[in-house]
C-alpha cells in the first residue's frame, strides 16, 4: 500500500462506511477488498466515499472490479459515493451521485427563462421563480 494512501472506516446502524484517501493503486485496491471482507458481517450495506481519492490508477480499478466478489454480499449491498464511484464500481453495485452543496443543505434559487406573450419578441426576458 502506498504511503500516500489511508483508509478510514466506521460502522453505524449495521452499515459500514469506508473513506479511502490519497493515491489509489493496485496494492490499495487489494487492501480495500481485504478490509471490506473483514468488516462486512453479512447484513447491512457498505458505503465507499470516493471524494478523497486524489489519483486513481486504471489497473487498480480493474483489480478492484475483478477481485471484489459481490456474490457473497448479495446484490445491492455495495454503494459508491463521489466522482470516482463510476470508475471503481463493480458490476452489480450502485453509485450514488451527491453534490457537495447538497451535503451542506444549501439551497439555490432556480432561474427559469420565460417568454412574456404580451411583449414584442425583442422584449422577452427572464423571470425569477
Q: 55-86 pLDDT, tens per residue? A: 999 999 999 998 888 877 776 899 999 889 99
Asked whether residue 10 carries a pLDDT value surpassing 90, the answer given is yes
Whole-model pTM: value is 0.73
The total of structural domains in the chain comes to: 1
Which sign, positive or negative, has the C-alpha torsion 83, 88, 90, 91? Answer: positive
Rounded Cα distance, 116 and 95, in Å: 41
CATH number at residue 12: 3.30.750.24
* Host domain of residue 73: 5-128
Q: 23-51 pLDDT, tens per residue? A: 999 999 999 999 999 999 888 999 999 99
Amino acid at each position: 500500500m502506498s504511503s500516500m494512501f489511508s483508509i478510514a472506516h466506521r460502522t453505524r446502524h449495521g452499515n459500514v462506511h469506508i473513506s479511502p484517501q490519497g493515491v489509489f493503486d493496485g496494492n490499495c485496491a487489494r487492501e480495500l477488498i481485504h478490509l471490506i471482507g473483514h468488516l462486512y458481517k453479512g447484513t447491512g450495506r457498505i458505503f465507499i466515499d470516493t471524494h478523497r481519492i486524489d489519483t486513481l490508477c486504471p489497473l487498480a480499478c480493474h483489480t478492484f472490479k475483478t477481485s471484489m466478489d459481490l456474490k457473497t454480499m448479495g446484490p445491492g449491498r455495495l454503494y459508491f459515493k463521489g466522482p470516482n464511484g463510476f470508475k471503481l464500481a463493480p458490476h452489480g453495485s450502485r453509485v450514488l451521485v451527491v453534490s457537495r452543496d447538497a451535503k451542506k443543505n444549501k439551497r439555490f434559487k432556480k432561474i427559469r427563462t420565460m417568454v412574456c406573450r404580451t411583449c414584442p419578441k425583442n422584449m422577452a426576458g427572464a423571470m425569477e421563480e
